[in-house]
């Protein structure tokens, strides 16, 4: 059995409906596949009744064909049933960066012209930001294939009409501060939300934006902002933490500030580089791309029709690599942004992973280096040193949790030190439910002893994105049938993950109460 919400007896009838609707629209199988972001062979299997279907896929098919294929009633929380212990196979293509997408959506507020973003991740986090943007008057239109997004910002934003519910459910809302300080002298934003990862202070953002005249007071569940424009900062802004969103906020503020702004201790991570490349298309001069010192030559008016393709997501690439590693698979992960995976691959090589890299090639943004990574079944051993994240070019903070699952496969003891988040390491201890020996040393450190004989179990999804995916990947390795409940959080950062795992040979079933 594979991923299914639809009874097997119905798949042939639905396949015929898909075929007839496609022909009625004058589409080839390849054209429909392009609209869905899948392969022509997958469309052929659907039409032949040989592809099991999810509710999500049916909804996407209906949208792509502009025809309601099946009427579905309301559903409850989403759960996964995983029949694990099977190797994956074939290849999988890395999708675009979620973190870059939300930064660029916020950056579009700076532009008086039209912004077209290509290859945008269709995930919950993006949709929440779009809900907020539309609520304040921004026009946001998807192309017929649902991959490219065009944004037009009005001369006057209706900030009083902001969708507070959507805003409170995303931490990315804090990146509205940088653009909005150029749009209003006073404004309010709802408190930021997001994953349950402990207290994440907003103070570094306040320190970074104060030189641009922004003062923020937090009260009654909102940020109350007052702006007194002072021009370009008279001296370099030194960020107190080399954070990605902090750097992005400073860039967004500097982009429309006349004069030169120097940002020191800046993040040079992948989403920051995407943002810099977009701002350069708007006419902002930026020196130091990829370094920790950015020199921004801002302009008070940014008015350009720009077209930008978002680069591939290194965290998704690491997720897919981990899926192959823990299931002992031979698997190729295509279009992996190698610049942002080199430390991870070096650590994996030290642990005994056998892999090959294709010749490098450029992403569609003309800048990011990509490669195809083929991994082979390997006998892993614990690294000599602890595994811990660092700002780029160190091991990515969001990739750290995957090493807990990988370390559970390796012989020996591995110390995982997650010094950034207050409580994320605690969620990794849920791997013990599946047979792993994961000992919580303190809120930031876990000791993982392997190798693990994974066993099936029923687990409630932890309230943090990456640990939730780690539990799913461990279930792929565990023989027998596991259940992962309340998986909606995974949709915040991954696009069609379950379907893509099935195409690689995973045995998953989505179900609802």
CA count, 13 A, side-chain hemisphere, 380: 30
- Bridge partners for 438 per DSSP: 448
Read off the DSSP letter of residue 461.
P
**Which of 285, 309, 333 marks a domain boundary?**
309
- Judgement on whether residues 298 and 408 belong to the same structural domain of the protein: no
Please state the domain count of the chain: 3
pLDDT of residue 53: 67
Q: pTM of the predicted model, to two decimals?
A: 0.83
> Which residues lie below 8 Å from residue 509, measured CB to CB, with a gap of 6+?
1, 2, 3, 4, 5, 80, 81, 82, 83
Q: Round to whole Å and give the CA distance between 88 and 73.
A: 33
The pLDDT, as a whole number, for residue 199 is 43
303 with 410, same domain: the answer is: no
Are residue 37 and residue 139 in the same domain, yes or no? no
Q: What does residue 267 show for φ and ψ, rounded to 5 degrees?
A: -70, 145
The answer to whether 468 and 431 have CB atoms below 8 angstroms apart is no
User: Is there a single domain that holds both residue 426 and residue 457?
Assistant: yes
Query: Range of 29's domain?
Result: 8-65
Q: What is the CATH number of the domain that holds 31?
A: 1.10.260.40
Using CA atoms, how far apart are residues 187 and 329, in angstroms rounded to an integer?
A: 52
In a domain, 345, yes or no: yes
CATH number where 256 lies: 3.65.10.10
Distance CA(410)–CA(450), nearest Å, equals 5
Same domain (yes/no): 263, 357: no
Residue 367 and residue 287 share a domain: no
Q: Both 182 and 272 in a single domain?
A: yes
144 and 240, same domain (yes or no):
yes
Q: Indicate whether 217 and 358 sit together in one domain.
A: no
Residue 1's pLDDT is: 39
pLDDT given at position 195: 40
Q: Which of 268, 289, 309 is the last residue of a domain?
A: 309
Supply the Cα-derived Rg of the chain in whole angstroms.
Answer: 23
Confirm whether 3 is domain-assigned: no
- Please give the pLDDT value at position 419: 87
Residues 301 and 346 in one domain: no
- In a shared domain, residues 416 and 469: yes
In a domain, 1, yes or no: no
Tens digits of pLDDT across the chain (513 residues): 344 444 445 677 788 788 877 877 778 888 887 877 777 777 887 887 777 666 667 777 877 776 666 555 545 788 999 999 999 999 999 999 999 999 999 999 999 999 999 999 888 889 889 999 999 999 999 988 888 999 999 999 999 899 988 888 887 888 999 999 998 899 988 875 444 434 455 788 888 999 999 998 877 778 888 999 888 888 899 998 888 999 999 999 999 999 999 999 999 999 999 999 999 999 999 999 999 999 999 999 999 999 999 999 999 999 999 999 999 999 999 999 999 999 999 999 999 999 999 999 999 999 999 999 999 999 999 999 999 999 999 999 999 999 999 999 999 999 999 988 777 888 888 899 999 999 999 989 999 999 999 999 999 998 888 999 999 999 999 999 999 999 988 887 888 899 899 999 999 998 887
In a domain, 358, yes or no: yes
Contact 196, 228 (CB under 8 A): no
Instruction: Kindly tell me the burial class for residue 187, based on how many C-beta atoms sit within 10 Å of its own C-beta (0-12, 13-18, 19 or more).
Output: buried
Place of tokens 């051993």: 381
**Does residue 324 share a domain with residue 226?**
no
Alpha-carbon dihedral of residues 227, 156, 231, 189, nearest 10 degrees? 30
């Amino acid at each position: 059995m594979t991923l299914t919400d639809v009874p097997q007896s119905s798949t042939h009838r639905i396949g015929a409906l898909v075929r007839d609707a496609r022909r009625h629209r004058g589409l080839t199988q390849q054209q429909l596949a392009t609209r869905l972001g899948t392969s022509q062979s997958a469309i052929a299997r659907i039409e032949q009744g040989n592809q099991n279907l999810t509710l999500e896929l049916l909804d996407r098919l209906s949208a792509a064909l502009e025809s309601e294929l099946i009427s579905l009633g309301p559903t409850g929380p989403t759960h996964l049933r995983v029949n694990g212990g099977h190797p994956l196979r074939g290849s999988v293509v890395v999708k675009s960066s979620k973190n870059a997408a939300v930064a660029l959506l916020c950056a579009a507020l700076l532009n008086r012209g039209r912004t077209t973003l290509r290859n945008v991740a269709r995930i919950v986090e993006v949709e929440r930001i779009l809900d907020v943007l539309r609520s304040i008057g921004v026009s946001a239109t998807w192309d017929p294939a649902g991959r490219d997004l065009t944004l037009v910002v009005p001369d006057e934003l209706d900030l009083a009409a902001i969708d507070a519910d959507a805003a409170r459910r995303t931490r990315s809302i804090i990146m509205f501060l940088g653009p909005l300080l150029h749009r209003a002298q006073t404004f309010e934003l709802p408190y930021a939300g997001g994953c349950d990862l402990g207290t994440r202070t907003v103070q570094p953002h306040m320190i970074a934006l104060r030189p641009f005249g922004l003062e923020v007071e937090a009260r009654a569940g909102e940020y109350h902002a007052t702006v007194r424009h002072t021009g370009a900062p008279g001296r370099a802004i030194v960020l107190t933490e080399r954070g990605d969103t902090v750097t992005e906020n400073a860039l967004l503020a500097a982009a429309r500030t006349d004069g030169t702004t120097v940002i020191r201790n800046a993040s040079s991570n992948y989403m920051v580089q995407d943002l810099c490349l977009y701002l350069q298309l708007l006419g902002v001069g930026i020196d130091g791309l990829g370094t920790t010192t950015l020199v921004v030559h801002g302009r008070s008016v940014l008015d350009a029709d720009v077209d930008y393709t978002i680069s591939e997501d290194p965290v998704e690439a690491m997720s897919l690599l981990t899926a192959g590693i823990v299931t002992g698979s031979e698997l190729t992960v295509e279009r992996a942004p190698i610049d942002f995976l080199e430390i991870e691959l070096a650590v994996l090589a030290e642990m005994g992973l056998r892999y090959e890299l294709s010749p490098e090639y450029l992403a569609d943004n003309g800048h990011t280096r990509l490669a195809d990574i083929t991994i082979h079944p390997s006998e892993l051993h614990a690294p000599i040193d602890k595994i811990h994240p660092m700002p780029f070019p160190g091991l990515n903070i969001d990739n750290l949790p995957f090493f807990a699952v990988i370390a559970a496969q390796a012989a020996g003891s591995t110390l995982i030190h997650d010094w950034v988040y207050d409580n994320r390491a605690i969620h990794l201890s849920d791997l013990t439910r599946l047979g792993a020996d994961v000992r919580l040393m303190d809120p930031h450190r876990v000791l993982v002893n392997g190798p693990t004989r994974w066993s099936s179990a029923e687990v409630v999804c932890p309230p943090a994105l990456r640990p939730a995916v780690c539990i799913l990947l461990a279930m792929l390795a565990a023989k027998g049938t596991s259940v992962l409940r309340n998986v909606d959080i995974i949709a915040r950062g991954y696009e069609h993950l379950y379907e893509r795992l099935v195409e690689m040979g995973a045995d998953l079933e989505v179900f609802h109460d």
